[in-house]
A = this chain, B = another copy of it.
Amino acid sequence: MEALLTIGETARRSGVAASALRFYEERGLITAQRAGSGHRRFPRAVLRRLAFIVFAQRIGLSLEEIGAELAKLPSERVPTGRDWSRLSGKWAGRIDQRIAELQRLKVGLTSCIGCGCLSLEHCQLVNAGDRAGRIGPGPLLWVGGRRKR
């Protein structure tokens, strides 16, 4: 088992396209050594980092947020299980929030949409809170009557 992986091997083993790996490297989410030729050589540890990235994306974090989290890992040693779980600990709350929202949406779907209270002015089922970053563009979310501008 080689200690260093080429970009192709890394792509195969992680399921992340080579182009995405270059993109992530450019964004500072992962790092690669270089062979004399200029070709990337990824340490095996990058695989776990990639797993974490894909995981975090499924949870709904942006690459920027993920990068900020990854930056908290110790850079001079290979991160331990404890390092990783410390990172991921705070996300459980985020998942719970999102689950709670989905459950509210489900209630709204089966009751509220049919009943007529979805006249928008009073219904609080759909709220922001999550994805607060999108308050600028995108449909304004009705947050209890308060809205931008």
Give the interface SS of chain A, mostly helix, strand, loop or mixed: helix
Is there contact, CB below 8 Å, between B105 and A102?
A: no
CB of A30 within 8 Å of the partner chain: no
Within 8 A of B (CB), among A13-46: 13-17, 20
Copy count, this protein chain: 2
Question: Which residues of chain B are near A47, meaning CB under 8 Å?
Answer: 119-120
Distance A54 CA – B84 CA, assembled complex (angstroms) = 35
- Sorting the interface of chain A by its residue count into under 10, 10 to 19, 20 to 34 or 35 or more gives 35 or more
Within 8 A of B (CB), among A100-148: 101-103, 105-106, 108-110, 113-116, 118-121, 123, 125-126, 138-142, 147
Question: Which residues of chain B are near A53, meaning CB under 8 Å?
Answer: 139
CB of A99 within 8 Å of the partner chain: yes
A144 CB, nearest partner CB in chain B, Å: 11
Contact of A113 among B16, B84, B138 (CB under 8 A): B84
Contact of A88 among B59, B102, B110 (CB under 8 A): B110
Supply 14 further A-B pairs (C-beta < 8 A) apart from A47-B120, A51-B123, A54-B139: A13-B120, A14-B120, A15-B141, A20-B138, A48-B113, A51-B120, A55-B108, A58-B101, A81-B114, A85-B110, A88-B109, A89-B110, A95-B106, A95-B109
